[in-house]
Structure 1
């Protein structure tokens, strides 16, 4: 599988640990160098801004999707190749799905996790068949990965869906795994007795 654009989920915060900002810059630069456009939250602060400006500096395409309320707060990145202004967070997440061929989640907070889990949930249901990647840099998501495994072992994640969440400790490893992804049998494709 090749990617034209990837939705990249990440925080608008700037952690004291500068490794996270450097990671976002690395992701932006690498995707641009590979000819992969970045679809992201449209902000100019924190990891979001670092990701976008690095991709732009490397000559990449950057598509921002941001709610009007955040534009009104003057946090929108008007330097994007394209900036889509939407009314709601739901419209924002729908646009991420519509505009990209896959999802990469960097370290972030509650909003980042909301976006990640919606991408996973929508894959289970069959609203998209794109790979959902989680970049576990610096072990940031170790606990989340363990919890995802616990959900599967307990039976809350079906066997057919255990491979939806793709993890990697480096971007290069993650992109390779994502390119090898094979779409799964979705819930809407299953018979009622298989649920």
Structure 2
């Protein structure tokens, strides 16, 4: 038995996969916003018989979002890669999850950790730096608070540092091992208190 968080962190290219969100209420909006915050070009289809007006605004602002105002159909699972269930009907969530598993699709059932194949963690973004935070489904509120602390701690200039390091790495000659040693030497001063 694994002790602690055994989740495998993955960063998905949301503009290259297709996500299905089922549910058009507050939770559906929250999940849609989470996807769009990470990539405004995310490919998302949202299906629900009732859809909040804010969701239609997201559809107007993002060419990757499609809203279908109707009940879920089995065919909605075709040509999608990931499923997020955000309805307040647990029987419907279970039915869709069962169908999605037959298609070998990964499923997230909002606020139901034991039915999830993956969790939507809290993310911090500073340019090209992205940090994912997971509490293994135990406390999304703690993940959100930790994100706020990290956001205040990590300087906005971090992205410029990453760009500079990328340019240095591209200029270095040699194999991977040599590049790692050279970059470690360069970045050592970032943590060496005697040089600050």
TM-score by length of 2: 0.43
- Bigger Rg, which one: 2
TM-score by length of 1: 0.43
